[in-house]
Amino acid sequence: MAVVRDVSARPTADERAHIFEVAVGAAANGIAITDAAGNFVYVNEAFTKLTGFRAEEVIGQSTRLLKSGRHDASFYGHLWATITRGDVWHGETVNRRKDGSLYVEEQTIAPVRATSGAITHYVAIKHDITARRSAEEALRRRIRELSVLHRLAVLSTEAVDVQTFATRLAMTLREHLDLVAVELDVSDQTASVSPTDGALPSFRAGPAAPASGDTLVFPLWVAGRKLGELRVRVRPYDLERPELERFLETFATQAASAFSRALLQEEVRRLERR
């Protein structure tokens, strides 16, 4: 008995390639294909929307084009070790768009093998999660800010000298807001908290040095009188820096009032000891 199969409906290799190109090109997620060395050979339209780079701008370029500087060598070392041994890598990366802005993507990278078994390409599927991560970070940031303000309120009720008050407050800021260093200068008394808990001479070249680089300065004003300054050093590439600056402005206003009361209490105690 003979079996006859109609193969006329089977797509040809060219048709399959066309179907693949249309499907990948229309995908909602960014898709990039690189050669074994990590150079782009294909990107879809969603990749362009995500990164701002058109296909002709990235084809032949290394994936390093998107690096943000937010990940160290060990991060990329682990990624490459995973995919070069033939495994799929899945994780989150912070990359840089063409316009210089940073974005967070959830990414899956899978190796593609030739019939010989050798890895010839890598396929990366990219999903933009910047908005989700920003919302999560905003909630965490608000909790940290409320903790700082609560600590300020508690410290302001304790009968301590201004120097001790400033030191404890500087430590609270650094620990809760993940700052590199904090310096509070109030009425010629300075409290510094850094990774080595030492002085920070680079913060100021004089009585009121302006902010420079990643250093921010906030004056402490009460009723038109400047009591001192809050100086903080933030981490480079901080995605939440504008929000941090707004909070520190609010904090400086409340801290100035607290220091004004602390100075008054210290003066009262000094007079009582006479």
Strands 225-233 and 215-222: antiparallel
Q: Would you state the pLDDT for residue 143?
A: 94
* pLDDT at residue number 192: 58
The owner of tokens 């995908």 is 27
CB of 204 closer than 8 Å to CB of 233? no
Q: Please say whether the beta carbons of 195 and 185 come within 8 A.
A: no
Give the span between the Cα atoms of 17 and 262, in whole angstroms.
Answer: 75
Cβ count within 10 A of residue 203: 22
Q: Are 264 and 270 in contact (CB under 8 A)?
A: no
Q: What is the pLDDT of residue 196?
A: 46
Bridge partners for 216 per DSSP: 232
Phi/psi for 80 (5° steps) reads -70, -35
Its pTM stands at 0.63
Contact 123, 33 (CB under 8 A): yes
pLDDT of residue 188: 65
Encoded tokens for 152: 């300020």
pLDDT in tens, the chain (274 residues): 555 555 555 677 677 666 666 666 667 899 999 999 999 999 999 999 999 999 999 999 999 999 999 999 999 999 999 999 999 999 999 999 999 999 999 999 999 999 999 999 999 999 999 999 989 988 998 999 999 999 999 988 886 788 888 889 999 998 888 888 888 888 766 665 555 444 343 333 333 333 444 889 999 998 888 888 999 988 765 667 888 899 999 999 999 999 888 888 888 877 888 7
Provide the pairing of β-strand 30-35 with 40-43. Answer: antiparallel
pLDDT for residue 189: 62
Kindly list the distances between the CA atom of residue 46 and the CA atoms of 35, 112, 202, 228, in Å, as whole numbers in the listed order. 20, 21, 45, 51
How far, in Å, CA of 49 to CA of 53, rounded?
A: 8
pLDDT at 270 (0 to 100): 78
* Under 8 Å between Cβ of 95 and 30: no
pLDDT for position 266: 80
Give me the domains of the chain, ranges plus CATH numbers. 13-128 (3.30.450.20), 133-272 (3.30.450.40)
